[in-house]
Amino acid sequence: MAAAVVSLPHSLALPITRRRPAPAACTHSERGVSFDPGSAFYRSDSAAGRDLAVLAATLHRRHGLDPSAPFLCLDAMCGCGVRALRYLEQAGADFVWANDASEALRPVIVANLSRFERGSQPVEAGRRRWVVSHNDATRLLAERYLRREYFDVIDVDSFGGDAAYVRAALLALRIGGLLYLTSTDWRSARGYGSRSSLSSYGAYVRPMPYPNEVGLRMVIGGAAREAALLGFHITPVFSYFAYHGPIYRVMVQLCNGKDDGISNYGFICHCKSCGQSQTFGFDELGQISCGCTDRTVGPLWTGPLHDASFLNEMLSLANEWGWAYTSENGVTLEKLLSTMIEESDPRLPPGYIRLDEISRRAKVNSPPLGTLINSLRKVYHCHMLMY
């Protein structure tokens, strides 16, 4: 999968003779980018997820091995085009492919993107900035791969739990590129649709006390499995659960070559009686030590949900842009990214125990959450000093 420069189909490279559409009526704004959602499905609550995508894409562009190569993004289910517009305006993309299956949205998408000159030459000539299409996402991604058109960032904001596009997206992604995945299948994440999770992500999920985390690990695990089948491996950049969907969003980086294949891909067992959770690899399935374990889910991702070093850079960039401490729809990026950084410790096991559950089992009153966290941090630092 060579990192070739995109060569667009001849039909897309022809000069444009149509009159340029009027700019969109700017009825909405995200981080200073104005746009019109028109009749497209649009959630202002999802702005934080788009903020994270723009920060990550910008850093990925800055880290590029070849500064002269164009930075290419593909938004496979673009809706009104706000994500594509933000990749152009804020992430500095040289070219964005905006696709949505609904042709009825074309006037809205084109109007939003028209604040940037589309250009009349192929992207390798440095003139083409964006393209709008209306295809099935999986077909579009497969066609890009067959034409050897590889992208640095692919964003698939899908609805439901259909993950059929994941393999095609990985094929159309440059080595080292970023793939932004989505699932809104909360039933599978909570163990109410085990057959659906098995068919979409290869994981049999049952009810667990931390279903939101299980949903993220289910999505990452499905991507890890697909990458391994293609001879690659993935590493999570960040994982984000939003209650308003609920929405499970995961950004992963495609890496060349297979890793050991099983160290971060396995099973999570939870015991309702003692409250403990453990992870087991494929070679440990017969060694479950807790005799009262009554819930086993998987296989799914059991490694870290985030990349701490990348998140620290994202937080620095958010500070640089003045985004860190400004709340957008109730989400403050500084708080969100700081929490993700704390969750990134690879020594942390999957899952958690709720404070009220600990108090119930210990038959004591719950201390303030902040007091408990500070005490745990002190114990942790003392433990680190000892070793």
pLDDT in tens, 362-377: 888 888 888 888 888 8
Judged against a pLDDT cut of 60, whether residue 332 lies above it is answered with yes
Which residue type, as a one-letter code, is found at position 21? P
Judged against a pLDDT cut of 90, whether residue 50 lies above it is answered with yes
Cα three-residue angle 282-288-294, rounded to 5 degrees: 110
pLDDT tens by residue, 273-297: 777 888 888 888 777 666 565 688 8
Q: How many CB atoms lie within 10 A of CB 38?
A: 19
Judged against a pLDDT cut of 80, whether residue 29 lies above it is answered with yes
Highest mean pLDDT among 47-51, 116-120, 194-198: 47-51
**Looking at residue 160, what is its pLDDT?**
76
Split at pLDDT 50, 70, 90, the class of 125 is very low
Q: CA–CA separation, 106 vs 8, rounded Å? A: 20
Split at pLDDT 50, 70, 90, the class of 14 is very low
Element (H, E) at 82: helix 82-89
Residue 254 or residue 7, greater confidence: 254
Split at pLDDT 50, 70, 90, the class of 15 is very low
pLDDT tens by residue, 53-81: 999 999 999 998 787 899 999 999 999 99
**Chain center to CA of 84:** 15
Residue 231: which region, alpha, beta or left (left: phi > 0; alpha: psi -120 to 50)?
A: left
Judged against a pLDDT cut of 90, whether residue 28 lies above it is answered with no
Question: Of 25-29, 86-90, 228-232, 298-302, where does mean pLDDT reach its minimum?
Answer: 25-29
Percent of the chain with pLDDT over 90: 52
What is the residue-wise DSSP string for 27-40? -EEETTEEE--TTS
Judged against a pLDDT cut of 60, whether residue 218 lies above it is answered with yes
Going along the chain from its start, the domains and CATH numbers come out as 30-119+126-261+307-351 (3.40.50.150), 353-386 (no CATH)
Q: Which alpha helices (DSSP H) does 163-271 contain, by range?
A: 166-171, 186-189, 194-201, 211-229
**Chain center to CA of 32:** 23
